């Protein structure tokens, strides 16, 4: 039955390995258990002292998981159980008669004698020790020692192997150290508090976000002392989270004591002890003030651009990579005599019937190759049959990061009036050219006639009449 009690308490303590209260309970129970074991094996131990042999203990002693050594007044081993042999790798014959100081690490014989002599009959002693196993390894142990004076002074020692516990403690400490490192160096602003809102872990990013870089270490300090300007609503959030809620906000305004405004994105959730009870609060927060300002500037820029597009006299159209129209302006709608809702979400091919034959194929080829269109002249047939001439420029727009095509933007310039004026000017020029040609031919014929008259007069021996043409004639 005692063995079952030992097994039960051992399992309970291993489950709550780092719980200080449980550990104290375990030690206390171990003391009680030691006394119980002493009572149970005292008869057998008395026989071992009397005989100074390695006679076996009772079934309780032989089957318990804890190790047992019986010592005489001089610290020589009188008896040992199988659990201790299994712990250390010794044979029973290796230990019987051996001074305990030979296997106790860092404990001289004089120190051991002093410790044993200080042990009373009524009060067991508890301490940590280290024993050297047969293979040379060091085994950390927890030992309970009691003295018995039935006949002659002797000692009963019960050992608990702490290797698994220390290994588990090391793993826990390593996990805690790793957690602390991850939290401290994460790019996120993270703070972990206990139930009293005292800092347990805090990331460097958190210190930066809340302007705590110059402040001394804050672990162990109360959150409300570190940041005294925290509003009451945040204290209410902490109370709700400590009651079990998970709260978050994507766009929270925080006004500092100096009047400055900050925007934060945060999540606040409870963390739990191994028994499921709430141990504290984990706060994830991100200062999005710069992002918020950028978004506001972007919205303002988009509104401004949208106003420019809407009010522009030039026709403007935007379509995506699927050739679906996503935006037009009134000038464009008017050019094609269509309403905006008739164009939006339509394929740009809906405009084909308005454009000069052959031009649409050229445009489509340029679009498919994501090429710019520069100064492409098209005729747009109107509902009354007239044709407006438009000079188009279009270009693809790519995402700066991914380089992926986003949209095409096309802008037109109606040049019908300019074309009419150019046509009129061309016609006038051609008329002038014809008149000039006629007049030039006429002048040349007059000059030829004058030269012929001069030649006839010269043959008749008379003076020439048109001296102005003589130079040309000679030339």
274-280: Cβ within 8 A, 24+ apart = 274/15, 274/16, 274/19, 278/195, 278/242, 278/243, 278/244, 279/194, 279/195, 280/192, 280/193, 280/194, 280/195, 280/197, 280/200, 280/242
Residue 151 placed within a domain: yes
Residue 419 placed within a domain: no
My answer on whether 12 and 158 are in the same domain is: yes
Residue 175 placed within a domain: no
- Of 292, 325, 360, which one is at a domain's C-terminal end? 292
My answer on whether 164 and 72 are in the same domain is: yes
Residue 101: which domain range?
2-168
Total domains, the chain:
4
My answer on whether 163 and 191 are in the same domain is: no
Residue 302 placed within a domain: no
Q: Which two tokens stand for residue 7?
A: 């097994």
Residue 297 placed within a domain: no
CATH code, 382: 3.30.450.20
My answer on whether 334 and 374 are in the same domain is: yes
Is the pLDDT at 268 greater than 90? The verdict is yes
Confidence class of residue 179 from pLDDT cuts 50, 70 and 90?
Answer: low
- Of 103, 137, 168, which one is at a domain's C-terminal end? 168
My answer on whether 149 and 271 are in the same domain is: no
- Supply φ then ψ for residue 140, to 5 degrees: -75, 135
pTM for the complete prediction? 0.43
Top mean-pLDDT range of 115-119, 286-290, 346-350: 286-290
- The tens digit of pLDDT for each residue in 84-119 reads 999 999 999 999 999 988 898 887 778 887 788 777
Number of H helices, E strands in the chain: 16, 15
My answer on whether 60 and 97 are in the same domain is: yes
Residue 12 placed within a domain: yes
Residue 90 placed within a domain: yes
My answer on whether 76 and 224 are in the same domain is: no
My answer on whether 112 and 256 are in the same domain is: no
Residues in the chain: 475
- The tens digit of pLDDT for each residue in 25-60 reads 444 444 444 555 555 555 555 555 544 434 444 677
């Amino acid at each position: 039955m005692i063995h079952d009690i030992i097994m039960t308490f051992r399992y309970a303590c291993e489950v709550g390995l780092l719980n200080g209260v449980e550990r104290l309970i375990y030690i206390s129970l171990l003391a009680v258990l030691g006394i119980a074991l002493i009572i149970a094996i005292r008869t057998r131990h008395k026989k071992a002292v009397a005989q100074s042999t390695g006679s076996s203990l009772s079934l309780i002693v032989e089957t318990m998981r804890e190790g047992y050594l019986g010592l005489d007044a001089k610290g020589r081993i009188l008896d040992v159980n199988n659990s201790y042999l299994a712990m250390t790798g010794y044979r029973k014959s290796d230990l019987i008669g051996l001074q305990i100081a030979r296997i106790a690490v860092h404990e001289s014989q004089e120190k051991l004698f002093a410790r044993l002599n200080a042990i009373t009959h009524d009060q067991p002693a508890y301490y940590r020790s280290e024993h050297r196993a047969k293979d040379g390894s060091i085994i950390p142990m927890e030992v309970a020692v009691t003295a018995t004076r039935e006949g002659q002074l002797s000692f009963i020692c019960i050992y608990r192997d702490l290797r698994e516990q220390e290994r588990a403690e090391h793993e826990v400490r390593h996990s805690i150290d790793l957690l602390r490192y991850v939290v401290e160096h994460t790019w996120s602003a993270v703070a972990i508090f206990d139930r009293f809102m005292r800092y347990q872990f805090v990331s460097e990013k958190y210190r930066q976000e809340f302007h705590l870089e110059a402040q001394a270490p804050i672990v162990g300090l109360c959150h409300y002392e570190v940041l005294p300007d925290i509003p009451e609503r945040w204290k209410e959030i902490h109370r709700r989270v400590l009651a079990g809620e998970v709260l978050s906000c994507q766009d929270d305004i925080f006004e500092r004591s100096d009047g400055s405004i900050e925007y934060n994105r945060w999540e606040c959730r409870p963390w739990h002890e191994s028994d499921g009870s709430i141990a504290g609060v984990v706060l994830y927060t991100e200062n999005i003030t710069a992002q918020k300002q950028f978004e506001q500037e972007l919205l303002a820029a988009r509104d401004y651009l949208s106003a420019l597009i809407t009010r522009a006299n030039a026709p403007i159209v935007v379509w995506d990579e699927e050739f679906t129209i996503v935006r037009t302006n009134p000038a464009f709608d008017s050019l094609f005599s269509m309403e905006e809702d008739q164009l939006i979400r339509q394929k740009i091919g809906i405009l084909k019937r308005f454009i000069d034959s052959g031009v649409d194929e050229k445009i489509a080829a340029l679009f498919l190759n994501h090429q710019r269109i520069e100064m492409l002249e098209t005729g747009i047939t109107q509902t009354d049959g007239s044709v407006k001439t438009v000079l188009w420029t279009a270009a693809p727009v790519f995402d700066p990061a991914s380089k992926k095509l986003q949209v095409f933007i096309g802008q037109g310039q109606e040049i019908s009036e300019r074309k009419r004026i150019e046509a009129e000017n061309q016609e006038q020029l051609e008329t002038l050219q014809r008149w000039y040609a006629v007049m030039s031919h006429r002048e040349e014929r007059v000059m030829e006639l004058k030269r012929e008259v001069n030649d006839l007069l010269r043959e008749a021996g008379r003076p020439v009449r048109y001296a102005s043409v003589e130079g040309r004639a000679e030339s």
